[in-house]
Amino acid sequence: MSDVALPDPAEGEIRVRIEACGLNFADLLMVKGSYQDTPELPFTLGMEVAGVVESCGPGADRFAPGTRVAVYGGRGGLAEAGNFDASRAVALPDDMDAVDAAAFQIAYGTSHVALDHRARLKEGETLLVLGASGGVGLTAVEIGAQMGATVIACARGPEKLEIAKVAGAHHLIDAGTADIRAEVKALGGADVVYDPVGGEQFEAAFRACNPEARILTIGFASGDVPRIKANHLLVKNISVIGLYWGGYLSFRPEVVTESLTTLLDWYEAGRIKPHVSHVLPLDRAAEGLELLRTRQATGKVVIRIAD
C-alpha cells in the first residue's frame, strides 16, 4: 500500500470516502491483464464500493455530501477514498450497511439482467445454475427462485450445496462427483442455463437442455472457453446468450438503473440478502483475492476499508 494524493473531483464526479469494497473474479483477470476492461497501468483494483459522498465536482450535484452510496467504478475501490463518475452511483437504503452494499451491485445486477432482461426467465421454467455457490452463481439461485423458476444448483461439495439450498435451490447436484447431464435430464432438463464456469460443465449443461433452451454465458471461471457446435444449436433450437453487465453502462444504462431499482426494492422487502463469506481489512486484500482464486469463498468477499 502507498499514499497517493487524490485530485479534486472532475466534472461529473463525486468523491467517496470508501467504507467497503467488494472483490470479484474480474479483479483476478485484471491482475493477469486478461479482463476485457483492464485499465492501463498503474491502477488500483476494486470494482465496486460503498461509502459516503464527501464532495462533488461540477455538474455532479445529484448526491449531496453525506449521502451514502454504492458505486460501480470498475477500479479504484481498494483505497480510503476515490473519485467516481456520479452516474455510476446509487443511493443506499437506510437499513443497508456498507458490507451488503459493497457485495450487491455486480453480483445481483449481473444475475438479474441476465435472467430477466436477456433470458426472459418465466415462472415454472427450470433454471440450471452452474457455480451456484460463487459470487454471481448464488445470486442467480436466489433471483431465479424469486422469479418462480425451479432452480437446480450445481456446485462442488455438500457445504457449498447447502448454501445454495438456503438461497432457494430446489435440487442440488455435486459438480465434483455427479454426472451433471444425467441428473439434469432426470429432473426434466433445463430451460435456462446460467453459466459462469465454462469448460466441461458447459458441455454437460448444453447436452441437458430442453428444446428452445437459453444458455447464458456469464464467464469462464474454469479457464476453459467452450467451443459451441452450431449444428447442435440448430437441431434443438437452443440460444446461447452473452451477458456482460458492465457493458450496458455504455450503450443502455437504463437497463442497469431499472434493474438496480428493482433489486434494492427486493432488498428492502427482505426478499434477497447478500451472502458474504469473508470480511477482511484492507491490509489483507491479497488474502481475499486468493480466496477467490482458490475457490474457498462462497458468495462474496468484502474488504472493509473503514467503519
User: What is the model's pTM?
Assistant: 0.93
Fold classification of 13-104+274-304 (topology level): Quinone Oxidoreductase; Chain A, domain 1 (3.90.180)
Name the residue among 1, 127, 132, 8 with its Cα closest to residue 58.
8
- Are 13-104+274-304 and 107-246 in the same CATH fold? no
Q: Are 154 and 132 in contact (CB under 8 A)?
A: yes
Helix axes 253-268, 105-112, angle to 10 degrees: 110
Q: Are 144 and 168 in contact (CB under 8 A)?
A: yes
For the chain, the structural domain boundaries read 13-104+274-304, 107-246
In one-letter notation, the amino acid at residue 41 is L
Per-residue burial over 172-208, b = 16 or more CB atoms within 10 Å of its CB, e = otherwise: bbebeeeebbebbbebebbbbbbbbbbbebbbbbbeb
Alpha helices per DSSP H over the chain: 25-32, 98-102, 105-112, 135-146, 158-166, 180-186, 199-207, 230-236, 248-251, 253-268, 285-293
- The three three-digit cell numbers of residue 219, written as one number: 464467464
pLDDT in tens, the chain (307 residues): 667 778 889 999 999 999 999 999 999 999 888 887 788 888 899 999 999 999 999 998 889 999 999 999 999 999 999 999 999 999 999 999 999 999 999 999 999 999 999 999 999 999 999 999 999 999 999 999 999 999 999 999 999 999 999 999 999 999 999 999 999 999 999 999 999 999 999 999 999 999 999 999 999 988 899 998 888 889 999 999 999 999 999 899 999 999 999 999 999 999 999 999 999 999 999 999 999 999 999 999 999 997 6
Alpha helices per DSSP H over 167-221: 180-186, 199-207
Fold classification of 107-246 (topology level): Rossmann fold (3.40.50)
- The three three-digit cell numbers of residue 169, written as one number: 435451490
